[in-house]
Copies of this chain bind each other. A is one copy, B any other.
């Protein structure tokens, strides 16, 4: 196991194997045109020398970086509070490491800076493709990435689906990128129904930023379910996903003359903060107020009362997205993927409406 002083290069392999370095390259990238025995010999030598192709040399030749990018435009505080991204990233990693790809991560605190980061990533050819999360309405990144010629995979299908795309594909359609879709509307609708079944008739929705498509989409699914039951769906508050915003939204809702008996939040941290506010006001959960979160983070099961939430699966979302991006680059296109839809996990924070003295 003598550690070699200098890293072996393709020239070393060629010399030892007694062939040209071009042939080594062919053998290693198993391209046709190398006899079986020559290839075997070359591979044996490569293994022997512990040869690993230089990424930067390959990159320069092939104009490929062998890395994918993820740009997250969220405030650091929110990033830390919301377990979605760490899990998503872990899923991405799980696939990339086995494929010899690296993940280049960028965190920007505001969406203004975002474009600069993508441009730099593209100009420096740092990454071969990117993951697009937190899709927004009329998301400027779609056009930007197209302009940059940067392949991408979106989490969720942009609002105007590719199916409705203009017949002329040369026109900039709504989404030029394949999507890995996890239907959250079903879970949201089931959650709304769950609350209706418990007798709630005054239900509030504390959503994420409206400019994000998933917030709007979930909001609509939620409202539809309430509407279908003849229950008002006007109690909607928009937040930035922070626990702080969740807390203050809860405060406002509970101060209402006609306060809700149930509140559904866009993520678990906000719901947990909501429970905190309820307790502070002397309300019992779920006797006086039912509360539900979203994403079903680890903590949901352990807070008191344990939190009803909607389980998405960020880890496998990450895995699928990574595999899709690999496929997109290898084959030039990739079909949309549908993951298991989100589903409700009922715990102790939601319960039947307590019968009150009729107003």
Interface set of A (CB-CB < 8 Å, partner B): 3, 7, 52, 54-57, 59-60, 65, 67, 76-81, 83-87, 89-91, 93-94, 97, 100, 102-109, 117, 120, 123-126, 147, 242-244, 246-247, 269, 272-273, 275-280, 297-299, 301-306, 314-315
The answer to whether A306 touches B242 (Cβ under 8 A) is: no
**Smallest CB–CB gap between A98 and chain B, Å?**
11
Is B106's CB under 8 angstroms from A105's CB? no
Q: CB-CB < 8 A to A278: which residues of B?
A: 304
Q: A76-B90, A272-B303 are in contact. List 7 more A-B contacts (CB 8 A).
A: A54-B124, A80-B83, A80-B298, A93-B107, A244-B302, A276-B303, A280-B304
Q: Would you list 22 pairs from A and B whose C-beta atoms are within 8 A, ordered by A residue?
A: A55-B124, A59-B60, A77-B298, A78-B298, A79-B87, A79-B90, A80-B83, A80-B86, A80-B298, A86-B86, A89-B107, A90-B107, A93-B107, A94-B107, A97-B106, A103-B104, A103-B105, A103-B106, A269-B298, A273-B303, A276-B303, A303-B303
Asked whether A102 lies within 8 Å of B104 as measured between CB atoms, the reply is: yes
A249 CB, nearest partner CB in chain B, Å:
12
Q: Are A244 and B298 in contact (CB under 8 A)?
A: yes
Assess whether B273 is in contact with A299, with CB atoms less than 8 Å apart: yes
Number of copies: 2
Please report whether the interface of chain A is mostly helix, strand, loop or mixed according to DSSP.
Answer: helix
Q: How far is the CB of A113 from chain B (nearest CB, A)?
A: 8
Q: Does the CB pair A57–B60 fall under 8 Å? A: yes
> Which 6 pairs between the two chains have the least Cβ-Cβ distance?
A80-B83, A76-B90, A273-B302, A56-B59, A276-B304, A279-B304
Query: A54 — which chain B residues lie within 8 A by C-beta?
Result: 60, 124-125
Please indicate the chain B residues that have their CB under 8 angstroms from the CB of A272 in the complex. 272, 299, 302-303
Interface pair B56/A243, CB less than 8 Å apart: no
When chains A and B are docked, how far (Å) is the Cα of A303 from the Cα of B278? Answer: 10
Tell me which residues across on chain B come within 8 A of A56, comparing CB atoms: 56, 59-60, 65, 125
Known: A79-B86, A79-B90, A85-B86. A105 touches B105 (CB 8 A): yes
CB pair A297–B81 under 8 Å, yes or no, is yes
Q: List residues of chain B with CB within 8 A of the CB of A244.
A: 298, 301-302
